[in-house]
Amino acid sequence: MATQILDGRTLAKSIEGELLERVNKLKEKTGQTPILATILVGNDPSSATYVKMKGNACRRVGMDSLKIEMGEETTTEQLLAKINELNENPNVHGILLQHPVPHQIDERVCFDAIDITKDVDGVTTSGFGRMSMNEFAYGSATPQGIMRICNHYNVELEGKHVVVVGRSPILGKPMAMMMLNANATVTICHSRTKDLPAILKTADIVVGAVGIPRFIKSEWLKDGVVLIDAGYHNEGCGDIDLEKASEKSSAYTPVPGGVGPMTINTLITQTVESAEKKLAK
């Protein structure tokens, strides 16, 4: 059986066409445009690039992006004040606080200050709790994007053993909960897990979310495994050694062009959904 490429770039492009239609309908009906506010704190070049990409994606679907830049010396209190200002702005439908923020800022406190109805990046603890209980919340963008890839390409999840390698609060942990809600059997591992290769050998689906280049080796995987690589590193690779591992997989997300485009697409999709709910009232 040929290996299936789970092409996130092509999927995201097709969804953007649908989003453009939805945004145009909103504009015609209400005279208002969905707005995503992006907050960039500090001068990290990678973060600046990500924010620019998200702004470009907004424009492609007819949305507006409100770009807010704050200095490297910004305090937690100053950032909280800005978030509260955006929470109270009725014209803002989604808020993105770009991760990471400078070390002196309490990132978790700031994430949790975002109004849950505008938490389109799925970073609040309240949103995580609701999602874990299978109640409505905007999902954390990367794992939610992965679920949308799986759904589009008919990757069977129910009853499958999914091994998530990574435990971050905005990727590994919500990924595990989403897979569990889809009736998969889930094992969460990380860089300190003992005998990780033996656990991975039992996996039907592997999600690489550990943040280490080519950490997951081909020889650790069984034939026919589905590989979801959520990593991206300067070397142009992900968390799985796809160059070798893809040959034994039944399906895999390429790096780049797999999970990344669907992360951004999920962010703007959830912003459109937030705007539709707000403007329908």
Instruction: Please state which CATH class domain 31-116 belongs to.
Output: alpha beta
pLDDT band at 1 (very low <50, low <70, confident <90, very high): low
pLDDT tens-digit map of 95-151: 999 999 999 999 999 999 999 999 999 999 999 999 999 999 999 999 999 999 999
The residues with which 162 forms a beta bridge, in sequence order, are: 186, 205
Residue among 7, 82, 119, 121 flagged as catalytic: 121
**Parallel, antiparallel or unpaired: strands 205-208 and 225-229:** parallel
Tell me which residue has tokens 């004040």: 81
Domain 141-260 has CATH 3.40.50.720: yes
Compute the average pLDDT of residues 85-96: 97
Q: In the annotation, is 54 catalytic?
A: yes
Compute the average pLDDT of residues 214-238: 95
Residue among 7, 54, 118, 239 flagged as catalytic: 54
Residue 11: strand, helix, or coil: helix
The domains of the chain are located at: 31-116, 141-260
Q: What mean pLDDT, rounded, does the chain reach?
A: 96
156, 125 contact by CB (below 8 A): no
Distance (Å, rounded) from C-alpha 117 to C-alpha 94?
8
Same fold, 31-116 and 141-260: yes
**Percent of all residues in the chain with a pLDDT value above 90, rounded to a whole number:** 94
Q: In the annotation, is 121 catalytic?
A: yes
pTM (predicted TM-score): 0.95
Residue among 7, 82, 98, 173 flagged as catalytic: 98
Q: In the annotation, is 98 catalytic?
A: yes
pLDDT band at 204 (very low <50, low <70, confident <90, very high): very high
- The widest CA-to-CA distance across the chain, in whole angstroms, is 58
Residue 58: strand, helix, or coil: helix
Q: Look at residue 166 and tell me whether its pLDDT is greater than 90.
A: yes
